[in-house]
Amino acid sequence: MQHNIHPLVLFSLAAGLLLAAPGRLALGETPAAITGQVSVQESGAVGDGKTDNTAAFQKAIDSLSATGGKVIVPVGQFLIKGQVIIKDGVTLAGLNESSLAPGPLKGSVILATGGRDQEDADPLFQMESSTALRGLTIFYPEQRAEDIHPYPWSISMNVRKPDEDTRVFDCVVEKITLINSYNGIQVGPAHNGRHRIYDVYGCVAGSRWTIRGISGGSRTSICIVFTGERR
């Protein structure tokens, strides 16, 4: 005996199979679980230059900490008052494909204000192993050439209290512009190596770049470094 199945039933069965298939987005899963990519805006970040986005950036990074992936920083001015830790296997990437020439702040911009007068405070971006930081302009809006104040490191590939079991390996820093930073990039003294630092440009008011204790094929390309206020 032949049975006819209504087209709506067939459609429902097919939809159920797609949802259940491996690699498909299932009920309760977020897009990040499938794509490995999120925007900081999905975690509540606002690029208005006024809202503190420290927690939103960290939330976006933490959402990928178990699997790895990429956190996108879109066009805007994102105020960060604290520290952001880039967890193992995660990339934090803005949209800037070149260094920022003198002129208006455009593209993906971080406004850093935390740690003023606390040079030994936690760095702005703390990088763990196998992480990347790309395509961002980091600007310290409260720094002035006529009244320079110390700030902690802008980017650190180190740990606060290194020991013999501590190591930081395989970090990438690329297409970063530093404006009015006090301490630029710190590498070491924790056991580390195989880092890649390319196309970093900008001004460091404290004239500090520390790259030491590197082993195992690291590469650097840090361009023009100068001091002075952005105008």
Reported as a single tens digit per residue, the pLDDT across 204-221 is 776 555 554 444 445 554
The better pLDDT of the pair 209, 127 is held by 127
Q: Which of 34-38, 88-92, 123-127 shows the lowest per-residue confidence on average (mean pLDDT)?
A: 34-38
Per-residue confidence (pLDDT) for residue 199, from 0 to 100:
87
pLDDT band at residue 159 under the 50/70/90 scheme = confident
pLDDT in tens, 179-199: 999 988 888 777 778 888 888
Kindly list the structural domains of the chain, giving each domain's residue range(s) and its CATH number in brackets, ordered by start: 35-226 (2.160.20.10)
Mean pLDDT value of segment 118-138: 95
Strands (E), the chain: 37-39, 48-52, 69-72, 76-80, 84-86, 90-93, 108-112, 125-127, 132-139, 153-157, 167-169, 172-187, 191-193, 196-211, 214-215, 219-226
The better pLDDT of the pair 228, 218 is held by 218
Per-residue confidence (pLDDT) for residue 204, from 0 to 100:
78
